[in-house]
Amino acid sequence: MEVTARAPGKIILAGEHAVVHGYTAVASSIDLYTVFSIRLRSDDDTVKLKLNDIGLDFSWSVRRIKEVLSHLGSPFSSTPTSCSLETIKSLATLVDEQSFPETKIGLASGVYAFLWLYTSILGFKPATVTVSSELPVGAGLGSSAAYCVSLSAALLALSDSVKLDVSQKGWSTFNESEAELVNKWAFEGEKIIHGKPSGVDNSVSTFGNVIKFKSGVMTRVNSNMPLRMLITNTKVGRDTKALVANVSARKSRHPDAMCSVLNAIEAISDEWSTIIQSHAVDDLYLSANEEKLGELMEMNQGLLLSIGVSHASIENVLQTSMKYKLASKLTGAGGGGCVLTLLPTYISGEVIDKLVEELGSFGFQSFTAGIGGKGVQISFDHSS
């Protein structure tokens, strides 16, 4: 039997940077996915990992994994546990033996997370594992969280810790307690990759829809608006830590002004949350709400510009989308990365195509995505 899990990426709709200082942010799932498939094997004694999108394959003998990680003992799938520094060193040994390409070394932590989650949840069972993703890496769309969530979900589906109907066809979901277990394990994987993640990305990827986040407290929001975004990847790398530090420094230099800016950003986040929860009684009402969200995006972007996190590439997207009377804002850390453009229901496919083509002339990559959809899902294939 092969188990396949898919988990969505995420975008920050409002509140980036303000959230670091204790203000509200609103994040949403997008219908772009990372997919893990696992097939346990009885005809082999290796664990194979195939990263399809980057063309890397890894293979470890079960004997070698046991030898290096003998201190782990039996799997503990029902008890999400942090990876110790000692174990990280052991995982690095296993990865180093694979002659990891120097140009891809930044992805090594993802392989560490794979080995930790695999052995912790399933133990030392031979299997072939494949992963593919629609999410660009390092663009602020939650690719690592979707990786950890889909992996954790597929592993737990093969464990004794969740009870799923394996005869069901198509995609199915976890119940609330099972999803929470997936989320906790995914967070442990995120910690291996990022050190001190907030937990927002993996929570959005696990539960889907929309989440409000403030001072470490997450509140799930049920969106009732069928929104679509054009997501433009500027392909400009950014240093998130440096951007966050620069905002903090500006706040120290101008505490009163920055307090006003951050309060305004929080008001935008709160209004976003209120609008998307409202039920559209007719097309006119929906159109009016879309217009309000567009205005909020423009105001949010102006405030983000004022705190120093925009970039020339982002401004190119804003100016281009403005020609089509469409509202845009950066999402995530800024300084490059991705930009959101709200696509109202009235917009035609022809207009979108023209916009995508014009953005492409800058070397940007653009794609449409629905927001606020389902979280992690699972499916089973009994064919040989």
Tokens of 340: 């959101």
* Cβ neighbours for 30, distance < 8 A, ≥ 6 positions apart: 8, 9, 10, 11, 141, 229, 231, 369, 370, 371, 373
CA angle 225, 336, 214 (to 5 degrees): 50
pLDDT 10s per residue in the chain (384 long)?
899 999 999 999 999 999 989 999 999 999 999 999 999 998 889 999 999 988 889 999 999 999 999 888 778 889 999 999 999 999 999 998 887 777 677 788 899 999 999 999 999 999 999 999 999 888 889 999 999 999 999 999 999 888 888 778 889 999 999 999 999 999 999 999 988 888 889 999 999 999 999 988 999 998 888 899 999 999 998 778 889 899 999 999 999 999 999 999 999 999 999 999 988 778 898 899 999 999 999 999 999 999 999 999 999 999 999 999 999 999 988 899 999 999 999 999 999 999 999 999 999 999 999 999 999 999 998 775
Q: Please give the pLDDT value at position 380.
A: 92
Q: Are 116 and 19 in contact (CB under 8 A)?
A: no
Tokens of 255: 């505490």
The yes/no answer on whether domain 228-371 falls in CATH 3.30.70.890 is yes
Tokens of 22: 């204790």
- Residue 30 exposure: Cα atoms within 13 Å on the Cβ side: 27
Strand partners, 178: none
* Cβ neighbours for 198, distance < 8 A, ≥ 6 positions apart: 19, 213, 216
Q: How many CB atoms lie within 10 A of CB 161?
A: 18
User: Is the pTM for the entire model greater than 0.85?
Assistant: yes
* Residue in this structure with the two tokens 């199915």, named with its chain if needed: 172
Q: How many CB atoms lie within 10 A of CB 262?
A: 22
Q: Please give the pLDDT value at position 75.
A: 83
CATH architecture for segment(s) 2-221:
2-Layer Sandwich (3.30)
Q: Which helix (H) or strand (E) holds 379?
A: strand 377-381
Catalytic residue list contains 201: yes
3-state helix, strand, coil in the chain (%, to 5): 45, 25, 30
Q: Name the nearest CA neighbour of 189 among 157, 158, 147, 153.
A: 147
The one catalytic residue among 31, 96, 201, 256:
201
Domain boundaries, the chain: 2-221, 228-371
